[in-house]
Structure 1
Amino acid sequence: MDQAELTTEKVLTRDIPWETYMATKLISGTSLQLLRRYEKRSESYCAQLLDDDGPAYVRVFVSILRDITKEETVEYVLALIDEMLTANPKRARLFHDPSLANEDIYEPFLSFSSGHSSMQLGEKYRETSHSFSFYVGLLWKGNWFIQEKSCKILALIICARPKSQGILPNGESSKKKFTTIDDVLKGLVEWLCAQLKKPSHPNRGVPTAVSCLATLLREPLVRSSFVKADGVKLLAPLISPASTQQSIQLLYETCLCIWLLSYFEPAVEYLATTRTLPRLIEVVKTSTKEKVVRVVVLTLKNLLPKGTFGAQMVDLGLPQIVQILKAQAWSDEDLLDALNQLEEGLKDNIKKMSSFDKYKQEVLLGHLDWSPMHRDPVFWRENIKNFEENDFQIVRVLLTILDTSTDPRALAVACYDLSQFIQYHPAGRGILSDLKAKDRVMKLMNHENPEVTKNALLCIQRLFLGAKYASFLQA
């Protein structure tokens, strides 16, 4: 059977020859008794066994995963653990029971191997930043069923650990070198990023990784590792309007990841360099799924006061979108509160923004329109010196818009603004001549849109007027 088609239910129908494993001393007689008492039993019966002797079963499961390599058996034990945790996720705490202090519970899933070459370990193992160290364990070397279950189980175990554990090894009292939670988190993040880049399963690789991240990004160390692994940019393309149930769930969990990252400053700085914000706004504008709208609104509320996000939100029309959302019938009171807070925050942001801040954001985003400031003489007189910032960055961006934009409105406004720059800046003509503006504007003289042609002509007239005036003075 294709491993990708395996399910927990199908795997649990297998008959595993535990007696053979006991005869070869791969499991103990006690382990055999526990397994035979547990497997193929009703959920209520297994629940009682776990309530009475849960840590003992965890010890058996972990030891089998560590000592037995036969794929069918590994799949079976992972299915047992998956069934146990799916029925009650709180059972993940059993892995951290004090009686297991000397058990390396993470080792079977993800650990380090040192002193081997990558050729010896095989292509499925990934070299880490440590010299001659590699991630090994079921998460990296197993088939998809094994990887998927290991990922899910690891995430639950990690999140259930006592917070006092920090990054200390499980079982620190032992002389044996244990797998630390620090190593596990870093290795798991690396695997998750690998899935987002090149998924092991074409349909389930990415959703599995995102779902796991939505759980793990509550951990500060995971946020830090994820940003360092350049993972933020891998999430942005997944933020797009969704229609099917599966795609809506993926969208929701992706946005949940972004929301968790919005509490982490280095991640926010990274988000500012991607197209995450316009994607979030497009989703909140078109989505009808309440949980998706809620998590996006909460994310936008977090990002609003940071960097230039507020100005970008205004430019992207978020105040109007919030008004439309508020008029809809939402059942979630938290969503209504978040919309009200976002609305107030946007109003405060608009009040704080100077006219030049608004203009600058408009230009940098390339969303030029005939807003009042373009034709306001007072705006140009008061702000013309601001155009000198960053080596005339705004002027250069306006010229870039002439080269790259296909929007007639943006082209027309850019031509008009360049003509205004010539008129109001003492050295405007010379600066634009040095930046080779004439040829770029001339190309638009024959544009099919009359608004573009009209404003390109105005810009050229002012450029030539300067040249003629200079010639007149020289004569």
Structure 2
Amino acid sequence: MFLDPPTYLASLQGNIRQRPIPWEGAVRAGTLTEDQLARIRAVDKVKRDVRKQIVEDDLDGYRILFVGDPGTKSVLESASKRQDVVQYILVLLGDLLESVPALAKAIIRAGDPYRYFLPLLARSSNPDDPIPLLTSTVLVSLMAGSRDESATAIDTALPVIFSYLSSLTKNSDAGLQDIGVQEYSSLLYGAAPRRQFWKQRSETVAPLVEILRAAAGVGNKDASASLWSGTAGSTGSSLGGSLGGGVGLQLLYRVLLVMWQLSFESASIGDDLNDEYDIVLLYTQLLRLSPKEKTTRLLVSTLLNLLIHNQNTLLPTAVLARLPSLLQNLKTRQFADPDLREDMDRLRELLDEYTKTKTTFDEYVGELNSGHLRWSPPHRNAVFWAENARKIVEYENGALVQRLAEIMKKPWDNDKAVLAIACNDIGYLVREVPEKRGQLERLGLKTRVMELMGEADENVRWESLRALGGWLQYSFDTK
């Protein structure tokens, strides 16, 4: 998918192209050779088709110009002490890689061309130094243009490039963020780079999720609580130029594009992606707020990729997030994009088929497995507990009460309602199947309920008291 270059980068490159370079003086000073200068001048400031023909007729010569040969330095090595020349050469190489696809393949065939550029990428942490930024653009064009999935590219060069691009996406400058995200997109051309991107997710994925959370109107700290409670986005979305948190529509689109590319690995990473970032819930909220058809298309397509490949684990979460009702509401929208309409129909069919065959018990299991409880109908329904309490305790050798214990162990500082709900459920289990209280006690549930009686939150204290009442009642009744 072609995207216009970020404005910040285009402006920087344009300024460097216009700077006069004293080439003859550089040759006299030994900064570059006559042969190197001749090749530079042959393609500098000439028409695109002329430039393309010249380079294609001398691919080996231009490969040597930029990455050298045994016994021959590249122009970047020769001119390493002249910042103005290095900047100019990097911009020129970037232009050639864009207009002459064969050049990237010729450079890659040389062996390990990345070793010439990676030191430039790491030469400065100063965001005002253009050389690392220009180098990243060259590396991305080189790797993406050749679709390089060699061990050298994936295991050696790509981790360094991703780390550098991550520093851009975490920058407060929207222009640098835009560059980092678009260059990510260029690199996710195959399964191998996508897997490496996920491997470095604390650097790569996490900052992008923070951008999406800001767009959804929630901060990173209280994201899950706000999303589950339905309060996210109350001040966020508009049909203007930005969403919540000041996230521009262009940046949002590019982040969604990267996440969509990553979602093609959903079969292997989908569960972890949701466990770590609540991605199904977040995407449902963003879909609710999406102001443009192109962002809606990426949201729907990503959700479809995730749910198709992780039906047992993520379809219950999608139902809890109220995605089915949202999709029904979106049926009234007249979308022009046929791919979006098709994906939306497939997503509705997938969810409809799931909900048709699932019981209230299945919904409860799905909520427990999501790791985040909310006041959904089963929790307060005495009939539900009368019919299902024993089944919940005995299900898969106690897997559900083990999951409940895991949820209760967390402090839930940003969503105390989860603890109140868990205490509510424990109380029902003790009252309906008192003979199983030993099993619950061995999991530490009684001890945790007693601890929660000291919580500052009034609802948690009340529900923990009610839960403990079940244990006390049973004790008195058996004396």
Tell me the TM-score normalised to structure 1 length: 0.75
Identity %: 22
Is 1:386 matched up with 2:395? yes
Q: Distance in 2 between matches of 1:397 and 1:220?
A: 34
Aligned residue pairs, count: 417
Aligned match of 1:250: 251
- Superposed counterparts of 1:58-457, under 5 Å: 59-62=64-67, 63-69=74-80, 70-84=82-96, 89-97=98-106, 102=110, 105-110=113-118, 136=119, 138-141=120-123, 144-161=129-146, 166-167=149-150, 180-182=152-154, 186-196=156-166, 202-203=172-173, 204-230=175-201, 231-240=204-213, 242=215, 243-244=241-242, 247-264=248-265, 265-275=267-277, 276-305=279-308, 306=310, 308-363=313-368, 364-371=371-378, 374-375=381-382, 376=384, 377-386=386-395, 389-390=398-399, 392-396=401-405, 399=408, 413-430=421-438, 435-436=446-447, 439=450
Shifted more, 211-220 versus 29-38: the winner is 29-38
How far did 1:16 drift? 1.4
Residue aligned with 2:213, SS: coil
| Distance in structure 2 (CA, Å) of the matches to 1:246 and 1:430 | 52
- From the superposition, tell whether residues 270 and 217 of structure 1 become closer, same or farther in structure 2 (CA, over 3 Å): farther
Inter-partner Cα distance in structure 1 for 2:159 and 2:411: 42
CA contact 2:360–2:378 (8 Å) conserved in 1: no
- In the TM superposition, residue 385 of structure 1 has moved relative to its aligned partner by 1.9
Q: CA deviation at 1:347?
A: 1.6
Moved more, 219-228 or 245-254: 245-254
CA deviation map 1:72-94 (0-9, x unaligned): 11111222233455xxx352332
Name the structure 2 match of 1:133.
Answer: none
CA distance 1:360–1:279, change in 2 (3 Å): same
Deviation at 1:60, TM superposition (A): 3.5
Contact 2:104-2:143 at 8 Å conserved across structures:
no
Report Cα offsets for 1:149-181 as digits up to 9, x if no partner: 2222222221222x6x7528xxxxxxxxxxx43
Residue identity matched to 1:75: Q
Q: Partners of 2:137 and 2:406 in 1: how far apart?
A: 47
Q: From the superposition, tell whether residues 105 and 316 of structure 1 become closer, same or farther in structure 2 (CA, over 3 Å).
A: same
Amino acid at match of 2:447: K
Q: Distance in 2 between matches of 1:310 and 1:463?
A: 35
After superposition, give the CA deviation of every residue in 1:234-269 in whole Å (9 maximum; x if it has no partner). Answer: 432222354539632222222222222222244334
* Shift in Å, 1:443: 5.6
How far did 1:391 drift?
8.1
Cα RMSD (Å): 3.7
Distance 1:57 1:432, change over 3 A: closer
Please give the per-residue CA displacement for 1:349-388, whole angstroms capped at 9, x wherever unaligned.
2245454332123243222322488432323354442285
- Conserved? CA contact 1:92–1:156, under 8 Å: no
- More helix per residue: 2
**Aligned-residue offset at 1:418:** 2.5
Determine if contact 2:140/2:187 at 8 Å carries over to the other structure. yes
Inter-partner Cα distance in structure 2 for 1:302 and 1:90 = 34
Which letter does structure 2 place at the counterpart of 1:262?
Answer: S
**Cα displacement string for residues 443-466 of structure 1 (whole angstroms, at most 9, x for unaligned residues):** 68x9867x995x667545433221
Report if aligned partners of 1:387, 1:394 keep a CA contact under 8 Å in 2: no
Q: What do residues 384-429 of structure 1 show as CA deviations (whole Å, max 9, x unaligned)? A: 4228524832442575589767566x66654443232112224244
